[in-house]
Amino acid sequence: MTARLQINKKRLYEQAARIQNNVNILAVVKNNAYNIGLDLAFDTFFQAGIRAFATTSLIEAVKLRKKSDKIYIFLMNPSTEFETLRNNNIAMTLPSLTFYETYKNDLKGIEVHLEYKNLLRRSGFDYAAEMQKVLEENAVTVSGVWTHFAYADEINSPEYEVEKQNWLTMLDTIHASERNFRFIHAQNSASYMRDGIFPSHTHARLGILLYGSRPYHELAPDTAPSVITLCTNVIQTLELKQGESSGYSSAFIAENDCKIAICDIGYGDGVLRTRAKYDVMIHGKRYPIGALMMSHMLITVDQDVTTGDTVYLYNDSLRVDDYTHLGVGANSEQMSALNHYSLRLEITG
């Protein structure tokens, strides 16, 4: 197996340090840190000065606590494992008035951040008045307020301005800036790049910008230097005659006599089928993918390509965010697919 995922730790560090210099980051490290690897991402971000981390998984939150008692951990999904939250000093979202009414006694000793539902309509309080009620009752420790935008990544959508205004109005209504919240956070990578940090906000809650992709394509590529390389080697080349096929159910049929290269990487390693509509790169030259199987990929090549050559699917020229723009899938979708169990992991930089 030659397929490997290389992660550039130096760039990961430099990007985190550069942004943390300008704004306090609440680093989103959910789903194994967008598949960069939770340990690697945590160690690198900590080294870069980041001290606040957010995830959706209690298991990941506990792992983070085991790594350091000097960090703030925010669980973005609600959990009823109150003992675990308390014992590990993990702050959690308060996702609704109903959750509050049901569990306010269990939440003693746990910091919560009130979540505002807004246009994402996934979770959160509907109205400022409900949030006000929780604040006035003083039955739980509210150390933050937050929301998540549904349209920040769509640069031309008018809804972003609406959800932004809803949020800022809600903050005014509950007098957030006078309440000394330890955390006021709303902005993902796209929102932060569009607007800078909002007034009175303590943190930008960033994911993809830390992991080497631009949240939207209008930004310059060096806004987020790429941190992943996905590559493999040609394990064999074959000459096909016109009309001959290769792969299951004639997945590839030679239109003319041609040369193909077989590589040991496939969708089982995390190469999305949509990615296979586009080229790979060998010796700086692009070649089309002819067929994608679970553990193999077939490329149509020329006489410059031979067994053992390195084949790139992602690198500095084949950026994840460029494929996002082409419709392959969201940045996070392409990264989440990468299979850490089958790919050889290499740390570079």
Ligand X SMILES: Cc1ncc(COP(=O)(O)O)c(C=O)c1O
Instruction: Report the interface residues with ligand X, using CB under 6 A.
Output: 28, 76, 148, 188-190, 205-209, 215
Shortest separation between residue 54's beta carbon and ligand X, angstroms: 7
Shortest separation between residue 291's beta carbon and ligand X, angstroms: 32
Nearer to ligand X, 114 or 311 (CB): 114
Q: Annotated binding residue at 122? A: yes
Shortest separation between residue 192's beta carbon and ligand X, angstroms: 8
Nearer to ligand X, 209 or 234 (CB): 209
Is residue 178 a contact partner of residue 193, using CB atoms and an 8 Å limit? no
Shortest separation between residue 184's beta carbon and ligand X, angstroms: 14
* Helix (H), strand (E), coil (C) string for 284-296: CEEECEEEECCCC
Catalytic annotation, residues: 30, 248
> 3-state DSSP helix/strand/coil percent for the chain, to nearest 5?
35, 25, 40
Q: Annotated binding residue at 294? A: yes
Nearer to ligand X, 209 or 280 (CB): 209
Question: In terms of Cα–Cα distance, which of 287, 230, 285 is closest to 262?
Answer: 287
Question: In terms of Cα–Cα distance, which of 192, 193, 196, 198 is closest to 218?
Answer: 193
Q: Which residue is nearest to ligand X (CB)?
A: 207
Torsion angles phi and psi, residue 115, rounded to 5: -100, 135
Is residue 27 a contact partner of residue 52, using CB atoms and an 8 Å limit? yes
Nearer to ligand X, 95 or 270 (CB): 95
Alpha-carbon distance 21 to 48, whole Å? Answer: 9
Binding annotation for substrate: 122, 294
